[in-house]
Amino acid sequence: MDASTEYQIVPVCAFSDNYIWILRRGNQAAVVDPGDAAPVLAYLEQQQLDLCAILVTHHHGDHIGGIEALLQRYHVPVIGPKGEPIDALSDQLVDGDTFVLPQIAAGFEVIAVPGHTRAHIAYYDSNHSGCGSLFCGDTLFACGCGRVFEGTPSQMRQSLARLAALPGSTRIYCAHEYTQANVRFALAVEPENFALQARAEEVAQLRATQQPTIPSTIAQELAVNPFLRWDAEDVIAAAQRYRETPVTQADEVFAAIREWKNNFK
């Protein structure tokens, strides 16, 4: 597809740090994780766009809170994960499902990524912009990952491993602007990581002018994100220092780093 005819991805800010992603092409738009309807409706009206679909990654209120108000204005499908308590879903999807949004010329594969919630899913468009785009909710963040609320650390690590196996050029559209805080923790884990040091400078410059640090890419996250680097020697050593005991297995390393992040000040 000609790049000029591809859908664009636009962040709409909500609450203190959420990103609601608008996928737009021509006068049509889809929205991912609309926790708040007001900024979405304002953007659609200002840009004179019609909503064609709502995509949801998981059931938390800051991702689904705006659905009802959007449905009062637009009669559109609500696509999301089977097994999550989301009453508004019209299309319940599971791992490996595929679907097309013809209005914006987009096709997606569903990837199950349990851990943050029991049935969290991500949406992957392998063809977008020649590099692929991933909408992963609260599973993989720039330089971080979501808390493990309903799953286990092992489930979360396996979910992240699936995302890490996507092509390195894949752009990651997560749902929160947590990058600066995540970088600060990552530097505590791997202070000698030169790629991470460079990323910290870049993030500081972007946030100084209130610019998004997202999207990042899979390749970038593999170089700097401690939650994808459970097999790196320095991350293993940091996990052992935190636990004050030998930690070698991937799940143990990940669990230690996630626990450390939970308590990090």
Checking if the pLDDT of 105 tops 60, the result is yes
Q: What is the mean pLDDT of residues 258-263?
A: 97
Q: What is the mean pLDDT of residues 123-129?
A: 96
Residues 54-64 pLDDT 10s: 999 999 999 99
Beta bridge partners of 216: 172
Q: How far is CA 237 from CA 138, 223, 264, in A?
A: 27, 17, 17
pLDDT band at 4 (very low <50, low <70, confident <90, very high): low
What does the alpha-carbon distance between residue 134 and residue 169 come to, in Å, rounded to a whole number? Answer: 11
Q: Is the pLDDT of residue 24 over 60?
A: yes
- Note whether 216 and 144 are within 8 A (CB): no
Provide the CATH number for the domain formed by 3-179+215-224 in this structure.
3.60.15.10
Residue 168: pLDDT band (50, 70, 90) is: very high
Quick: pLDDT tens for 202-217. Answer: 999 999 999 999 999 9
